[in-house]
Every structure is written in C-alpha cells, then in structure tokens.
Chain A
C-alpha cells in the first residue's frame, strides 16, 4: 500500500529491569534531559538519555513498579507500584510523599500538562484525580473496569482512558462527566495482561486522539469533541498496537505493536516513514522532547533509544510549529519559482503563459487574496526570486518538459483527479500596487477506469474462511476450501460418465489461487510468496543469507495418465507471476506477468514461450485452440470501456489464427471467456451481462447473442458457464450474492440465446422472434460452411462429409426459422420484406414452400417472384453439381488430366468461372476446379482478376484471415495454414451478362447472395429474354410445396 516498502531497522535493547510491565519517561531536569525508567523489579532509575547509564536509583516499597510519570516541570516523578502512587524528587530520586493509595496494582499514571494534577488508575476500576500540591484526591471517576492507560489532553480538560475490555472512555476532568465511551475499541485482554493500549493526544491542543484499535494493528484517529474516528493509521502492524505516541510537534506518530515492531507515521499523509523491529514487545515508548529520538522499554525489561528516527530529508519530530511553517513556505516558494521559470520559458517560446488544459479538462482560477504590498519589498523579493527561479528553471528544464507531456495524458492514465496545482504570485511592478494571489487548478478530465486485472473465467473471488471456485466450466469444477493452515482442492466433473476416474483431493500448502480445468487434466498456479520482512531483517542482522520467498508455482495433474510420474510442477522465475491459466486437450498455457505466454505439452515439455502483445486478461482453451484476451491499450476514458484484444492460437498447427479487438459493451469489463460447445467459436461475456460470439462472416465480427432479459434483471444475476449455438448455460444467482457458492453445488440453467433484434411495425413484430432465431442459425451455418470449406481444401473426405451433413441440417433449421418469419410477413401484407426473406432461404425445397405459403395467402405477385428466385437457384445448383462431378472425377485423376476435365466441365455448363484464366499466381495450386465450390479459391481467383496485387499478397503469405480463421477442427489447420490470402469475403465474380444465370455479387461460398437473386426477381418482367423462364412455374409441380405450406402454418 505504502509506495516504497520501508526497511526495518533492527533495535537491540540492553537489559535494564526484570521482566514485566516497564515504564519510561524523559525528565526535563534543569541540568539536562534524562530518562527515568521503572520496571517489575521495583527499581526506578534515572539514566543518561543517550548511553542509558544509570545515574541514580531507588526502590519502591511494594514492587513491581509498573508505571511512572514525570511532571511537566521535571520536578517530580510519580511512580505507581502494587498499591501506592508515590512522588519522588528529581534528579535525586528521594521519596517526597505518597500521592494516593489503591487496593490493587497501579497501571496508569498521567500528569496534567499544567502539572498541577495527577491521574492514577489501575485494577481498582477507579480513576483518581490527585492535586499534586498536597496529595489530596479531589475526584474519583468510576471506570467500571480495569484501566490500562491514561492520557491527559494538552489542554488539561479531557482525560482518556483505555480499559481492559477494549473500551475507550473520555472524561471531562472539570466536571467528572463521562464525555464519550466506545466499547470494544481495542482487543479485549485478560486480567494479567501486560498490555497498555496507550492512547495519545495530538500536541496541538488535543485536536486528535490516537487510540489503538482491534487486533490487526490499526490506530484510530478520533476527532476532538465529536469523538468520531476520522482516520486510521493502518497497514503496517500485523498484530495489535500497544502504544501510540505523537511526536512533540505532532507531525509524526510512533506506534509499537505486539508484533515487536515500531512504526513511525507521517500523520498528515497517514503513511509510514520509518520502522524498526526489536526482540521484545514494547511496554513504554516516548519521544525525546527536543530531538529525533525515541526511548523505549520492553516487556522483558530491555531499555533502548532509537536515534535518527525520522529520515533526514523530512522535518524533524521536535521542530517547532513556526519552523514547520517556515519550511512549508520555503517549499511553496521553490515550487512557485520553478513554475514561474517554466512560464517564462513558455512565454519565450510563444506558447502563452496560460496552462493548457488536458483533453476534456479545464482550468479553474480563483483569487484567494488581494493585498497592498510595499513595492520595494516586493521588488526585492521578486529580484531574489528571479535569480533562484532561473536556476531552478535551468535545473528542471528537461524535467519540466516531461511533466508537460504527462499532464496531458494524466487523465487517460487514470492517475488522479487533480492534475497539477500551484500558487502563482504576480510580481509587483509599481510602487504601492495590488498583488493578487491566484490559485490555478488544472482539473484533469474524469479519469478513465483502471485496466481490469487478469482473471480466470469461471473463478469466484476469495473470501476469507469460505470455500470458493477456482474454476467452474462445462467440464466440471475445481473448488478450494480452507482447512486450518492449508486448503483442500477438490475436482468434480459434471459428467461422471465421461470422466470415470475420481480425482483425489489435493492438500494445498502453496495457496493455489488459480486453476484451469480441461478435459485431460487440471492445472494450478500459486502466487509467489515474499519472505517475511521480519525474518529477512533478522537474517540480515545475523549475517546469514536472507531467507528466500517461495516463487510462483504452476502444477499440472492429468486425469488418466498412461505413464507414471505424469504430474509436473514448474517453478516460475523470481518476479514472474502466473496471471492466467488454461489447459486444452493437448496443451497447458500459462500467461505470466512478464507478458509471456508459456505453452507446455500435457507431459510438461515446453512447446513455446511467446511474447504477448499486451498484459494478459484471460485465457481459455478448448481442444487444441487457445484464446488469449489481452490489454491492447489503456481503457477508453470516455466510454469507460476496456481496450481488449483477443488472439486465437491453434497450438497444433502453431499458428495465430486471428488477433482482433474484443469489443465490449460501453463501460463494461470482460467477465467471462469461452468457446461455444458445439461450433467452437470464441465467446465472451461482459459485466453488463451481454454475451457475444464471433462469427466468421464479415471478416470475423462479434455478434451479441444474449442479453439478460430486462424483466428479470433486477431479481437475478446470470453467471455464464458455457454456451452452445442455441443456448447459454448460466448459473442463476441472486443480486445479493452474484457469485455461485460452492455448497450446495450449483447447476446451470440453459437459456435460449436471442440476438437483440427489433420488432418492426405493421403487425409483423411477431416475426422478430424468428428473425432472431434465423440470425443465430446463420452464425452457426457460417461456421459450419467455413469448416466444411477448410476440410474440403485440406482433403479430409470423412470430416467433410460429416460437416456437409451438419451443414444441411443447419440449412434446414435456418430455413425453418426464415420461413416462419416469411409467413408472418406475408400475413402482415409485407410482401417486399417477405420476398427478401425468401431470397435468404438456402434450399430449393424451402423456396417452393415459400411459394406455397404465398399462394395460400393469395399473394400471387409474391409467389411469382419467389418462383423466379427458385428457378435461378435450381439452375445454379445444377451447375454446381455438375462442377462437383468434375471435381469428383478430379479426385481420381492425375493432376495433369484434371485441367482438361475441369475445363471440359466449364465449357459444358457455361458457368461463370469459365471466364477466368488460370493465371500463374506464384503458387502452385490450380483454382479452377474449386472455383464453384470453395469461396476461398474463388476469392483467390478474383484477386487474380484484380491483377498482381492479390497474387502478391498471397505470395507474401500475409494471411489476414486464413482458413483456420474458420475455427475449423484444429487438426487440419496445418494443411490450411500455408494457403495464404484466402478471404471469405464476397467478391465480384464475372462481368454482368457473361452468363444467363447470375449477374452480380456472389457470396464467398460460391452461391449467389440473396441480393443477386432479388435483382432478378424484382426486375421488370421480360419473359422474352430468357428461354428457361418459359417453363411452368415450379410451385405447381413441386412435391414439397404442399408440405411446406403446412410447415408455414
């Protein structure tokens, strides 16, 4: 938390007293400043303040002498023992008189700052206020409990006491009234405890009361009068604080805790400035009234002085208020001079004196004072300042420039709200003039969000003492449960029929905080643990080598290893942390804080070490594919969105399939990353609940396929686990507890995906549902087509036939959804839209169905136009089939014969590709026979048409979107990878009129786009031009027509 970790000084105390409560105070005797200490052995020593040599001593009547207090004038020391408070004269330590008597042991003594009163308390539940002059008890306050410590405020008005039960009470000593009582402020301690819990008042009239709080080592700063805690000194002590002491000027506070540490804090900035460790817990701690020293006594009786507590470059702890003010002014003046120097520079450079506000920010100007000054004095000051200013400007020249640069970007970097502020005094020019002090504040634009930290998809946040999921995905869950000093990690599968082996519980002493579950094994990572600073200090003091911390670990456990010793553990280099993990069927991936992507095989062989382009955010793996989300830049300060990119690696083919921006909803962060279960496309969910998948269409874009239903957004939170092409699997959580709990075991609920389509007017709104379905099917279909293409190109016949089957199924589903929408549009008399929807249909069967539906609704014009589309489609398919026959023949023929065969097919069917020349393209494959089937080759052909440029691109091997982009089955990636420059974009095929069939853009898949078909269908009828139009309309002789009409209903 604190910017630089402070190095602990090790303090060695010398033995001074017996073990037990001890006490120490500085005595400001007329001659010199001495230390007075008392201890459990019942002795009181007057010591030299530096070498601690005893100069005088006495013994109390009833040891132990647990507490002492020196009066502010340094005349007396009051010592409390087992039953008496006695005053001893200083420096001779001769008994003066007994102040008061208690039945039980004294614990606390405090002189009022005026020196006339003494407060004493102990195990008697009473606080006695004693008049020092005559030793009379003038007031008794009942505290209801054992008092541990007392502190009198500098105004002598209030008295603060800490109690054994942990309470804090503040009394008004004038009236004896209880001013404030806070229960359970500190740790409750038992009766024989040596704790003091000593509070301390700020010396400036007690504006702040510092009291130890709780068992974690915090100190609360209570405001005077309201007695509310307004601040805390925290983050340094590991155990409860025993003593707080403000420095004489109140700039610093020293705290000593049960962790044997002493920390010195800067009270204004609430940061630690120095720290020390000792061998015992401190029982007394005081600042030297006039120096940079702390005197302390320990519970084992040690006595010590820590000199040079506050670092030299800071104002001393005993520096007077006036001096402090002077120092402050000095600093301000220097800053002012530096600024003026800079301004002068700017003016010289013609930039104008004004500050340039950062983008989106503004400059606020405020006149804080106006006063008449003596010109002479001001001029002198200005002259002196000018000289220094010049120097400062020279010294800071380079730095100043750097600052300027930073200022503009500070908002984007999210460094803070206030960019810069300074005091700008205008020098006087005439005698008796007005000087204005203007404060200019450059207000930075609203800072952008911080870059989101790396996370594991499917992990829940750690909560102390509660079990959590390290990973929860479609395979199973990895949960970690704290037990005593370690964790127990459990792996459970959702589908026990797929994973027969039970994974034994893992007893985790490393503190694994990340895990990734794959279908072949589970990988864990633990963070590096720094060595305990106290131990390091101790080792340094003994001259031993410092104890090393535990480095970050990565551990992999396969489920069903065939070989023994298949588990492996990798130790990361020092300073390297595993940020994200993933494991697929063939690999383990670790993204580390050194921006490295480390790929291991399942056995632990190091397959690759790659540099990532940005800090990793999340990893996810499926099969051989690995998706890496990384920060491509700082978050956008205006949209508050994270700037992320996603790279997809094929670890089998060793290719990066794509690397593209990963857009999120405005202002959202990435919360989940995964792959679709059936189509294998990457999917991402963001903090606004929107789930996107990446479609290969449009060059690879993200389609929002799920948005949490608005009606239920307030009552439930969806925590995504997985995704198929139709459903999202999510755990339904309550808004109060937005993360799933380990017990009872959660299950996921399937929810239908639904892209955010619009319901259009005119009674056709009901079609929106089906349009959304059609969109989803289209995404799935484009993935399938892409994979099919890839499989065909790499010659995987079996896979291709499987995919073709799937594709046909997908087309049928797509058509079913489209037909439903079509029917709704027809019913709503939106014939134009209906025709456009019909043109999107994939299969002839569906088209004839559409014709039947149109006929059924008496939409003759529509039916005729669809029939035109159908005819064209049939013709094209016939042509394609012929082409396919040619290709099949090719598959059995020799390479040379293939040209002729294909050419023959071309000529025979007079299709578009006949216009193409198989121009040499620097690559050896021949595009022609594939031209009707594979969009990739076709596009290559079009590149040929565009001249050498495309060919050159292919030759260079630049592959913006290779076939593997299709997220194809990974195994064939290698084969496809070297075919570069094949874009799945639609492209222009041939010049219009070259064939009787299609004139216009074709989709990348070799089929005419709906638009092409529409052109013909919506053209003015011209029956004479095309002979094939003379045929009888298809609708009437199509066997599917009637069936499809039923389907439409």
Chain B
C-alpha cells in the first residue's frame, strides 16, 4: 500500500460529519447538573420534584439545589430560579485553564465533559447570570478561545500521527471526541485488519505453507 494521505488529511474531510449530531450532544448535556437558587416553594411532599429519570429537590426559596440543565433552563425561562454559574466558568478559573492549555502542549486540561454544550446553552438562555454585558462577553471569549486552543491541539496531535505513535487523548470533552470518533473508529478497524493479516502472514511464514492465499 502506497503511503496515502496523512491521518490529518483524512480526518479533515470527515470533521464535518460527526457520528453524533451536535443536537444529540446538547440533549445529553442537558442532563449535566447545575446549581440553581429557586425562588418558589414546591407544594409537593418534601418539596421534591419527581421526573422520569430522577427526583430532584428539595426546592426551597433561596436555598441552592442541584438539578439537571434542562430543568434549570425550564425554570429560568419562567423566572423561577437563578442559575449559579458553574465553578469552571468563573473568569479566573477559565483564564488559568486557558493558560495551562496553552503552555502545556502534551496534555489536555480536564474540563467538564459537556463544556461546549453547557456554555452554549447558558450563553444563549441565561446570559444575565454572568453579570454585565462586558463580563459575559469576556467569559464567552475565554470559552471560545479555549475551544480553539484545544481544537488546534487535537489537529496538531493528529498531524503527528503518521507512524506507530500512541496519542494521549485524555480529558477530551464530548464534542471534541465526537469530532475524531469517525476517524479513530475507521483507522482502528483498519489497524485491526492489518494486524490480523500480519498475524496470518507470519503464521504462513512459519508453517511454510503457501496454499491459502492471504485475504485482505
């Protein structure tokens, strides 16, 4: 097999069609927990709210409670709660992560699994929780920057994968791994295939029988 296009070139063409759609990812991200401060009392036993996938609460005015994102956003739309910005979205925290991300090329910084989706949803629906417009824009910029830096890191890493090198892809978030999923799936399959053939070929070499032609 002649050396074909590098992995990077291969993935570049595939980046636009990930196996999971962003909408699906967002749906999953809606199950991430956020802290809200409700401003209502729930007239239910123990003021707990039972949903299909879990029971949340107790909802008591001005006392923070952890709920999934979809619930938080639904309540927020009705002005029934204040969403607390997640800790990782604090300005200082983001700046620190971004700095680390830039200075250490070998590793990815640990970020929440659905950070892209969470940030997108919060910016779209609950901008006010981050403070004034200027503050929101700053945090948006930081998240955007973080995304870019990580993305370029992924591409950089893949560019280098042209031989038998292990690539460390710890701490990739959902949307990022989604981007390279297709590539990895296919290439791993391919490698598997090759390895299998290799084994067969070796066996053939060792036994010395050439009856069966190598199948690919």
| A-to-B contact residues, CB < 8 Å | 493-498, 729, 744-745, 747-750
Report if A494-B61 is in contact (Cβ < 8 Å); known contacts: A744-B131, A745-B82, A747-B37: yes
Does B198 reach chain A (CB closer than 8 Å)? Answer: no
Residue of A whose beta carbon sits closest to that of B81? A496
Bound together, the chains give a CA A496 to CA B60 distance in angstroms of: 11
Contact in complex: A498, B41 (CB < 8 Å): yes
Bound together, the chains give a CA A744 to CA B84 distance in angstroms of: 10
With a CB–CB cut-off of 8 A, which chain A residues contact B60? 750
Contact in complex: B131, A495 (CB < 8 Å): no
Name 6 interchain pairs, CB-CB below 8 A, sorted by A. Answer: A495-B40, A496-B79, A498-B41, A747-B37, A747-B82, A748-B62
With a CB–CB cut-off of 8 A, which chain A residues contact B131? 744
Bound together, the chains give a CA A345 to CA B62 distance in angstroms of: 70
A497 CB contact (under 8 Å) in B40, B63, B82: B40
Residue of A whose beta carbon sits closest to that of B62? A494
Contact in complex: A495, B63 (CB < 8 Å): no
With a CB–CB cut-off of 8 A, which chain B residues contact A496? 39-40, 61, 79-80
B153-189 contacts to A, CB under 8 A, are none
Query: Which of B37, B61, B62, B63 has most chain A Cβ within 10 Å?
Result: B62
Q: Mark B47-71, 1 if CB is under 8 A from A, else 0.
A: 0000000000000111110000000
Report if A748-B82 is in contact (Cβ < 8 Å); known contacts: A495-B39, A498-B41: no
Bound together, the chains give a CA A749 to CA B64 distance in angstroms of: 7
Contact in complex: A495, B64 (CB < 8 Å): no
Given A494-B62, A495-B61, 4 more pairs with CB closer than 8 A: A495-B40, A497-B39, A747-B82, A748-B62
Bound together, the chains give a CA A494 to CA B41 distance in angstroms of: 10
Closest 3 CB pairs of A and B: A495-B61, A494-B62, A494-B61
With a CB–CB cut-off of 8 A, which chain B residues contact A494? 39, 61-62
Bound together, the chains give a CA A750 to CA B61 distance in angstroms of: 11
Report if A749-B63 is in contact (Cβ < 8 Å); known contacts: A496-B39, A496-B40: yes
Contact in complex: B40, A729 (CB < 8 Å): no
With a CB–CB cut-off of 8 A, which chain A residues contact B61? 493-496, 498
Bound together, the chains give a CA A190 to CA B27 distance in angstroms of: 63
B64 CB contact (under 8 Å) in A493, A497, A747: A747
Bound together, the chains give a CA A591 to CA B199 distance in angstroms of: 94
With a CB–CB cut-off of 8 A, which chain A residues contact B37? 745, 747
With a CB–CB cut-off of 8 A, which chain B residues contact A745? 37, 82
B10-51 contacts to A, CB under 8 A, are 37, 39-41
Contact in complex: A493, B39 (CB < 8 Å): yes
Q: How far is the CB of B44 from chain A (nearest CB, A)?
A: 13
Contact in complex: A497, B62 (CB < 8 Å): no
Q: How far is the CB of A899 from chain B (nearest CB, A)?
A: 47
Residue of B whose beta carbon sits closest to that of A472? B62
Q: How far is the CB of B94 from chain A (nearest CB, A)?
A: 17
Number of A-B pairs, beta carbon distance below 8 Å: 35
By secondary structure, the A interface counts as loop
With a CB–CB cut-off of 8 A, which chain A residues contact B82? 745, 747
Contact in complex: B40, A747 (CB < 8 Å): no
Residue of B whose beta carbon sits closest to that of A496? B39
Residue of A whose beta carbon sits closest to that of B84? A747
Bound together, the chains give a CA A750 to CA B60 distance in angstroms of: 10
Bound together, the chains give a CA A494 to CA B63 distance in angstroms of: 9
Contact in complex: B63, A729 (CB < 8 Å): yes
| B-to-A contact residues, CB < 8 Å | 37, 39-41, 60-64, 79-80, 82, 131
Residue of A whose beta carbon sits closest to that of B36? A747
Bound together, the chains give a CA A622 to CA B28 distance in angstroms of: 46
Q: How far is the CB of A492 from chain B (nearest CB, A)?
A: 9
Contact in complex: B41, A750 (CB < 8 Å): no
Bound together, the chains give a CA A278 to CA B40 distance in angstroms of: 61
Contact in complex: B40, A748 (CB < 8 Å): no
Q: How far is the CB of A677 from chain B (nearest CB, A)?
A: 11
Report if A747-B63 is in contact (Cβ < 8 Å); known contacts: A496-B79, A496-B80: yes
Q: How far is the CB of A475 from chain B (nearest CB, A)?
A: 9
Residue of B whose beta carbon sits closest to that of A492? B39
With a CB–CB cut-off of 8 A, which chain A residues contact B41? 495, 497-498
A750 CB contact (under 8 Å) in B40, B63, B79, B80: B63
Residue of B whose beta carbon sits closest to that of A746? B62
Residue of A whose beta carbon sits closest to that of B129? A744
Q: How far is the CB of A60 from chain B (nearest CB, A)?
A: 57
With a CB–CB cut-off of 8 A, which chain B residues contact A729? 63
Bound together, the chains give a CA A729 to CA B131 distance in angstroms of: 25
Bound together, the chains give a CA A747 to CA B131 distance in angstroms of: 16
Residue of B whose beta carbon sits closest to that of A745? B82
Residue of B whose beta carbon sits closest to that of A722? B62
Q: How far is the CB of B156 from chain A (nearest CB, A)?
A: 38
Bound together, the chains give a CA A701 to CA B155 distance in angstroms of: 71
Bound together, the chains give a CA A729 to CA B60 distance in angstroms of: 11
With a CB–CB cut-off of 8 A, which chain A residues contact B39? 493-497
Bound together, the chains give a CA A804 to CA B75 distance in angstroms of: 37
With a CB–CB cut-off of 8 A, which chain B residues contact A750? 60, 63
Bound together, the chains give a CA A498 to CA B80 distance in angstroms of: 12
With a CB–CB cut-off of 8 A, which chain B residues contact A748? 62-63
Bound together, the chains give a CA A459 to CA B64 distance in angstroms of: 22
Contact in complex: B80, A747 (CB < 8 Å): no
Q: How far is the CB of B130 from chain A (nearest CB, A)?
A: 10
Contact in complex: B62, A747 (CB < 8 Å): yes
Q: How far is the CB of A23 from chain B (nearest CB, A)?
A: 52
Residue of B whose beta carbon sits closest to that of A721? B62
Query: Which of B39, B41, B63, B64 has most chain A Cβ within 10 Å?
Result: B39
With a CB–CB cut-off of 8 A, which chain A residues contact B64? 747, 749
Bound together, the chains give a CA A51 to CA B131 distance in angstroms of: 67
Bound together, the chains give a CA A493 to CA B63 distance in angstroms of: 13
With a CB–CB cut-off of 8 A, which chain B residues contact A744? 131
Q: How far is the CB of B91 from chain A (nearest CB, A)?
A: 13
Q: How far is the CB of B63 from chain A (nearest CB, A)?
A: 6
Residue of A whose beta carbon sits closest to that of B80? A496
Bound together, the chains give a CA A744 to CA B62 distance in angstroms of: 13
Bound together, the chains give a CA A946 to CA B11 distance in angstroms of: 99
Bound together, the chains give a CA A729 to CA B62 distance in angstroms of: 10
Q: How far is the CB of B133 from chain A (nearest CB, A)?
A: 14
Residue of A whose beta carbon sits closest to that of B63? A750
With a CB–CB cut-off of 8 A, which chain A residues contact B40? 495-497
Q: How far is the CB of B77 from chain A (nearest CB, A)?
A: 14
Residue of B whose beta carbon sits closest to that of A748? B62
Q: How far is the CB of B208 from chain A (nearest CB, A)?
A: 72
Bound together, the chains give a CA A748 to CA B63 distance in angstroms of: 6
Bound together, the chains give a CA A494 to CA B39 distance in angstroms of: 5
Bound together, the chains give a CA A497 to CA B64 distance in angstroms of: 17
Residue of B whose beta carbon sits closest to that of A744? B131
Q: How far is the CB of B174 from chain A (nearest CB, A)?
A: 29
Bound together, the chains give a CA A729 to CA B79 distance in angstroms of: 23
Q: How far is the CB of B97 from chain A (nearest CB, A)?
A: 21
Q: How far is the CB of B170 from chain A (nearest CB, A)?
A: 32
Q: How far is the CB of A749 from chain B (nearest CB, A)?
A: 7
Bound together, the chains give a CA A813 to CA B109 distance in angstroms of: 48
Q: How far is the CB of A235 from chain B (nearest CB, A)?
A: 38
Residue of A whose beta carbon sits closest to that of B35? A747
Residue of B whose beta carbon sits closest to that of A495? B61
With a CB–CB cut-off of 8 A, which chain B residues contact A747? 37, 62-64, 82
With a CB–CB cut-off of 8 A, which chain B residues contact A749? 63-64
Bound together, the chains give a CA A498 to CA B40 distance in angstroms of: 7
Query: Which of B40, B41, B61, B80 has most chain A Cβ within 10 Å?
Result: B61
Bound together, the chains give a CA A496 to CA B37 distance in angstroms of: 12
Bound together, the chains give a CA A771 to CA B37 distance in angstroms of: 33
Residue of A whose beta carbon sits closest to that of B82? A745
Residue of B whose beta carbon sits closest to that of A498? B41
Q: How far is the CB of B104 from chain A (nearest CB, A)?
A: 30
With a CB–CB cut-off of 8 A, which chain B residues contact A493? 39, 61
With a CB–CB cut-off of 8 A, which chain B residues contact A497? 39-41
Q: How far is the CB of A319 from chain B (nearest CB, A)?
A: 63
Bound together, the chains give a CA A1028 to CA B72 distance in angstroms of: 63
Residue of B whose beta carbon sits closest to that of A731? B62
Bound together, the chains give a CA A745 to CA B81 distance in angstroms of: 12
Bound together, the chains give a CA A744 to CA B80 distance in angstroms of: 17
Residue of B whose beta carbon sits closest to that of A743? B131
